[in-house]
Chains A and B, each alone.
Chain A
Amino acid sequence: MASLYRQILNWLDERFGAGAVEDFLRHKTVPIHRHTIWYYFGGMTLFLFVIQVLTGILLLLYYRPTPDDAFESVQHIMTQVRFGWLIRSVHSWSANLMIFTAFVHMFSVYFLKGYRKPRELTWITGMLLFFVLLGFGFSGYLLPWNTLAFFATKVGTEMAGAIPVLGKWLLVFLRGGEEVTGATLTRFFGFHVAVLPGLATVLLAMHLLLVQHLGMSVPPGVERATAEGRATARVMPFFPNFLLRDIIGWYVALGVLGALAAIFPWELGTKADLFAPAPAGIRPEWYFLFMFQTLKLLPARIFFLEGELVGLLGFSLAAAIWVVVPFLDYRAGFGRVTRFFTGLGIFALGFIVAMSFLALW
């Protein structure tokens, strides 16, 4: 068996240097310290992304992206297609878990200063990937064409429309017209299955290459302790030690997904009616709730600007700062932890959690 494996590897090595990959894996290590647990969330997000791709492809076999058929085709998947209920529920639950693990991964990297020089590009590609994931969530939410999704999309795209100068153009671009119609559904479907997967593939490839090239970041505190001799630098081989631990996490995620799908299958709701009044309790997916709640709490006018516009500008500015934080917190690159940026992270996390809970209250 071992010799067959060696023969295949040799065959591949002669053709594209697969031995280098094996060599890389053999020598790749992962630092061990009290924050090692956070390293697993990147892999977990990647695993859930793979689940999304696989279940998404299966759903594509039956889904029809037209206002007349979308709802019925999802209903058909849920009730008539063998294991269709499982695939659709896993796709929906996995999407939510993926965004959750992406949030955890992002904040853990932020607090552990994983964005420090020379990993600025790893952070930026990760952030762009995160925005792509939110785009997946926003576009996918509309695809079952149910009442809740229809009105949430209406509200969401209206927010985009409030952006100065570009707003109107952006609204028409997203909706495929002035209103949320069948054209919006087709467009969102296009974003969800073509545009965003294309972007995600490129960004993911860059992100993973950078992670492999630069290795895992060691938090400044641990680095300092090692340098001062208060701790010893320990590592574990990536293959198989870290990978096996990763796989345990993936198995657990699979079990959780299966249980959620079997016990709480993702609801379909009622078919969207373009002429019906908006029902009560319209709100976006949980990961957009903090923005939704903030915009709701803002007064109608702040000085001479509309409250909603101020909110959107604020969020845009915050997102921009978040993306370029490796350049702003450049001192962290020299091992100096700035309290301001740690405080900023705590404030951002606290704000997101508090506003989300307030919206659910």
Chain B
Amino acid sequence: MKITATAVALFLWALGSAFAVSPQDSCVTCHSALEGKQAEPARLFAADVHRQVGLGCADCHGGDPKDESMNAMSRAKGFRGAPKKAQVPEFCARCHADIAYMRRFNPKLRVDQLSQYLTSVHGKRLKQGDTKVAACVDCHGVHNMLPASDTRSPVHPTNVASTCARCHADAEHMKGYKTPTDQVARYLKSVHAEMLAQGDTAAPTCSTCHGNHGATPPGVTSVANVCGTCHVFFEQLFVKSPHQAAFARMGLPGCVECHSNHEIVKPADDWVGVGAKAVCVNCHAVGDKGYAAAQKMAGDLARLKTFLGRAEEILGTAERSGMGVSGPKVELTNAHEALVKARVNVHSFNEPEVRKLTEQGVDIAQKAYQAGVVALRERDVRRKGLGISLIFIVLAVSGLYLKIRQIESGSRT
């Protein structure tokens, strides 16, 4: 009986705790009763990530949320009010640069945002008194901040470009700076934006190349490194290539020189070579070694593609004729792989290396083509076999018909 009573008491206590009303926050109570701009913080804060981890207005703005009088916002109660734009980074950094404090909420969260920010163009300009530049709240929002992993957050990968565009695509806002305002429009035409739009959040957006808190345009010499964080093989080949030193000497940014920066479209094979769309001829002219190498590399790629096309065509014909060519088709994927490798190796600008790979692909494609020839021959054999067997069937049917006639004419007479 005693045990039952204790259990009931414990249960009621647990129930009471679960449904206990949190102590009233006077900031929220008063600001909710206000109108317009002054009511907004209380309204927005309900969904804010800080609110979700149990922080209140006073944790940033100071004051006493238990005091229901105006005295709650007195200096004596530690009220700090809203920071001025120039003070925002340090205002946020009081907590976000404090390892011990941040560890209580998320041990994985970085605490170097302020130090990074101070190295960025935004941070440096803010220090110089330019309050038009972005500080924390310009990108993350105020009172309705969400984790970057939340798709509604302005700093979620899918929203970063439009967040940056709020300032960087605004010609009026950017007046007085040397920065162009078409970067986002150009980025949106890129293969990176296309992949991101398809839901691939690993695809790069502005902050992937420029950094987020330490946002700065990559320098001429570091472009390849930036691209190389994702395109590792391309970078490795490029830094070993003769172009690396030549570009550095001429002050040309590596990858960007051929692929552009923001409007990075899907590359095509005709970029290599000396044709109308070739980028090699931007620097190389008839007679120089690079021109000849570009011409040969384009020839190597074209040769492999021709062999691949032939093999695909004949295997397709064989397959449509009902022949089983799944084996050679699987083999042919290795030739496609060789083409991909050769395209990557173009970045070594080493023609013999490219040729080695394309010739491997040509060998495979030729074997697949031969398999297609054999399959078509087999198809013809089958059809001839069918023709011959049909002749025998017709003969047998005719013989049977005549036999029936013979039997039945005999029985009639």
Chain B positions within 8 Å of A262 at CB level: 382-383, 385-386
Confirm or deny: A36 has a beta carbon within 8 angstroms of a beta carbon on chain B.
no
B324 touches A248 (CB 8 A): no
**Please, how many angstroms separate the alpha-carbon atoms of A185 and B385 in the complex?**
35
Contacts of A240 in B (CB 8 A): 403, 407
Q: Is the CB of A85 within 8 A of B324?
A: yes
Which chain A residues border B396 with CB–CB below 8 Å?
Answer: 251
Question: Which of B324, B393, B408 contacts A78, CB < 8 Å?
Answer: B324
Interface string of A239-277 (1 = CB under 8 A from B): 011001101100110110011001111011000000000
Instruction: Report the bound CA distance from A253 to B385 in whole Å.
Output: 17
Task: Pick the residue among A248, A252, A263, A268 that contacts B383 (CB under 8 A).
Answer: A263
Measured between C-beta atoms, what is the minimum distance from A260 to chain B in Å? 10
Give the complex CA separation of A166 and B70 in angstroms: 74
B residues within 8 A CB of A264? 322
Tell me if B4 counts as interface (CB < 8 A to partner A).
Answer: no
How far apart are B194's CB and chain A's nearest CB, in angstroms? Answer: 23
Contact with A along B303-347 (1 / 0, CB 8 A): 000000000000000000011101100000000000000000000
- Is B397 a contact of A252 with CB atoms below 8 Å? yes
A75 within 8 A of B: yes
Query: Please, which residues of chain B bring their CB within 8 A of the CB of A268?
Result: 324, 326
Q: Inside 8 A of B403's CB, which chain A residues have their CB?
A: 240, 244
Chain B CB within 8 A of A79 CB: yes
0/1 interface trace, chain B 376-401, chain A, CB 8 Å (1 if under): 00000011011001100110110011
Chain B positions within 8 Å of A79 at CB level: 324, 326-327
Contacts A240-B407, A258-B386, A258-B389 given; does A263 touch B322 at CB 8 Å: yes
Q: For the complex, what is the distance from the CA of A272 to the CA of B2, rounded to whole Å?
A: 63
Contact B408 A251 (CB under 8 A): no
Q: How far is the CB of B123 from chain A (nearest CB, A)?
A: 48
A residues near B393, Cβ cutoff 8 Å: 251-252, 254-255, 258
CA distance A263 to B389 in the complex (A): 14
Contact partner, B404, options A75, A245, A265, Cβ 8 Å: A245
Question: Would you give the shortest CB distance from B401 to chain A, in whole angstroms?
Answer: 7
Which of A85, A247, A254, A267 meets B400, CB within 8 Å? A247
* Shortest Cβ distance from residue B404 to the other chain A in the assembled complex, whole angstroms: 5
How many chain B residues touch A (Cβ–Cβ < 8 Å)? Answer: 21
A292 to B400, CA, bound (A): 43
Instruction: Tell me if B326 and A241 are in contact (CB < 8 A).
Output: no
Complex Cα–Cα for A251 and B396 (A): 8
The smallest beta-carbon distance between B322 and chain A, in angstroms, is 4
- Known contacts A78-B324, A241-B404; A259 and B397 CB within 8 A of each other: no
User: In the bound complex, how far is the Cα of B404 from the Cα of A308, in angstroms?
Assistant: 53
User: How far, in whole Å, are A255 and B326 apart by their CA atoms in the complex?
Assistant: 28
Contact with B along A201-240 (1 / 0, CB 8 A): 0000000000000000000000000000000000010001
Asked, given contacts A248-B397, A252-B397, A263-B383, whether A258 binds B324 with beta carbons under 8 Å apart, the answer is no
Are A251 and B383 in contact, with the CB atoms below 8 A?
no
Query: Is A251 a contact partner of B400 (Cβ separation < 8 A)?
Result: yes
Q: Are A244's CB and B324's CB within 8 A?
A: no
Bound Cα distance from A254 to B382, whole angstroms: 15
Given contacts A241-B408, A251-B396, A251-B400, A265 and B322 within 8 Å (CB-CB) = yes
- Write out the residue numbers on chain A whose beta carbons fall within 8 Å of the beta carbon of B390: 255, 258-259
Q: What A residues does B394 contact at CB under 8 A?
A: 255
- Chain A positions within 8 Å of B400 at CB level: 244, 247-248, 251
Beta-carbon contact of B401 and A248 below 8 Å: yes
Residue of B nearest to A265 (CB): B322
Which residue in A75, A241, A252, A254 is a CB contact (below 8 Å) of B324?
A75
Q: How far is the CA of A248 from the CA of B405 in the complex (A)?
A: 13
Q: Please determine whether A244 and B322 come into contact, CB atoms closer than 8 angstroms.
A: no
Q: In the complex, what distance in Å separates the CA atom of A236 from the CA atom of B408?
A: 9
CA distance A340 to B327 in the complex (A): 58
CA distance in complex: A268, B326 (Å): 10
A255 to B388, CA, bound (A): 11
Q: Report the minimal beta-carbon distance from B115 to chain A, rounded to whole angstroms.
A: 46
Query: What is the CB-to-nearest-CB distance from A143 to chain B, in angstroms, rounded to a whole number?
Result: 17
- Give the distance to chain B from A140, nearest Cβ to Cβ, in Å: 20
Query: Which of chain B's residues have a CB closer than 8 A to the CB of A267?
Result: 322
- Report Cα–Cα, A216/B397, bound state, in Å: 25
Q: Do A263 and B386 have beta carbons less than 8 Å apart?
A: yes
Indicate whether A255 sits within 8 Å of B324 (C-beta atoms), given known contacts A244-B403, A244-B404, A248-B400. no
Shortest C-beta distance, B375 to chain A (Å), equals: 9
Nearest Cβ in chain B — how far from A29, in angstroms?
A: 12
Q: How far is the CB of A88 from chain B (nearest CB, A)?
A: 10
Which residues from chain B contact A75 at a C-beta distance below 8 Å? 324, 326
Q: Give Cα A79–Cα B379 distance, bound, in whole angstroms.
A: 12
The contact of B407 among A86, A241, A248, A251, by CB within 8 Å, is: A241
Tell me the bound Cα distance from A262 to B389 in angstroms.
Answer: 11
Chain A residues lying within 8 Å of B326, measured Cβ to Cβ, are 75, 79, 268
Across-interface contacts of A254 in B (CB, < 8 A): 393
Q: Mark B256-291, 1 if CB is under 8 A from A, else 0.
A: 000000000000000000000000000000000000
Report B-chain residues with C-beta under 8 Å of the C-beta of A255.
Answer: 389-390, 393-394
21 chain-A/chain-B pairs, Cβ below 8 angstroms: A75-B324, A75-B326, A236-B408, A241-B404, A244-B403, A247-B400, A248-B397, A248-B400, A252-B393, A254-B393, A255-B389, A255-B393, A259-B390, A262-B383, A263-B322, A263-B383, A263-B386, A265-B322, A267-B322, A268-B324, A268-B326
Excluding A241-B404, A263-B383, 15 further A-B contacts by CB distance (< 8 Å) are: A79-B327, A85-B324, A240-B403, A240-B407, A241-B407, A244-B400, A244-B407, A247-B400, A248-B401, A251-B397, A254-B393, A262-B382, A262-B386, A265-B322, A268-B324
CB-based closest 3 A-B pairs: A265-B322, A79-B324, A262-B386
